[in-house]
Amino acid sequence: NTTLYSTVEPCAMCAGAMVLARIKRLVYGARDPKTGAAGSVMNIVNNRRLNHRISVAEGVLATESSALLKEFFALKRRGL
User: pTM for this one?
Assistant: 0.88
pLDDT at 79: 87
- Domains of the chain by start residue, with CATH: 3-77 (3.40.140.10)
pLDDT higher for 80 or 5? 5
Give 35: exposed, middle or buried? Use CB within 10 Å, 0-12, 13-18, 19+.
middle
Instruction: Tell me: pLDDT of 17 over 90.
Output: yes
Distances (CA, A) of 16 to 23, 41, 80: 10, 14, 31
Mean pLDDT across 36-49 = 97
- Could you give the 3-state DSSP secondary structure of residue 56? strand
pLDDT at 80: 81
CA torsion sign for 6, 39, 12, 75 is: negative
